[in-house]
Chain A
């Protein structure tokens, strides 16, 4: 499958500071890719280059085979900026209808996208009365107009409550099923959960990871945590035999690599009645993200 968005060796330098260095990745039609990184990691800069607002210092980008910023590229892209406040004096419907005209999309699509984001009831209220979540959904509605080939979403789920976030990913998936390539940025892995096909992580302008989430989990090779709850009388014995860390009067926490997991667990069960309960925690999404975004370079 040919990629819809192709980023090859893009570097960007602002006032002698490298904001992006040698970033390459692709997004294929129907693929949901997430671009992660801290504030200032270069996510928004990369988006601005993809939109043609900025020219990269080096490297090339093609959008649907066209140079960013050309009419062909702009016809293929839909964008939702990180923070956008629509004119307070216009209603939601007027706002979406305006962008439909700019994009040359039939007016019939307006009601459809408003219904998709659950704004039909509020469509005739002025945007000035909207809550943050509603404004975010309105922004998404205009981005969904006309089934774009590439959907660029800059931190789309910030400010959404968990239910709205779930609904948001459902919409994104529906669009991806129709062949839209989706690239969204976010602060952390826990935000995107498991709802993207691929995760790219930017750290200080460098791409430090670009793989499906399960691969990242695997290659990060982070330790699991095993929490052993012991009898108060035997907690010292358990601590001496197993090592690890005492957390409170009755609990010992152990860290171990994935291959040693079963071996450790059988050692724990061999302790018999001294152990009251065992809990195993795999590394959380936040742990994995922290590993890539703040940790050492990892080779894949």
Chain B
């Protein structure tokens, strides 16, 4: 499998009143196309900062982040904006969708941003939403949908433009348990089917049962990698 994402010795420091904070401290890992990875850890472990770096929203203080072989750290702001719309798909904890666009329009927005909107793209969006069980909700505004449905629209939006990397920041944070499992399961299935590299930040270890690998962070460092099915399931069950 080709490497979609490579993180090499990434460091991110912030200045605070009490001195320098190393939010990410010499982290390295790689994700292949078609692999779904969870980034877990307690609050303040640096996982959200890591995700922001992967999303090209934050530049690392040191190290390299390669998406399809291109180093994000060397890119200008304009290049990073283009990279975000072409090669990255993103779902957030909440406030995910544009409230005045329907489910279908929210998904199509990604294609419009890439200037590739046409009839075929319109059909593709509808099909993807139907696949996610939202066939009846295509023309609903976010306010007319439940939290789970909104998250599924966000997943469709993150995948519709065939990005290299799909990032999810706590996608289940605002969902009840049943819906949370449904959402992550669907997300994982689509990552595998579409051969994308998926990275999900979560504090809910139960969600890890659907991923291929778990990266555990603490105090900015990558402290453990769970890469066997047994280890992952044990972690998900809290053993």
Are A and B co-members of a single complex? no
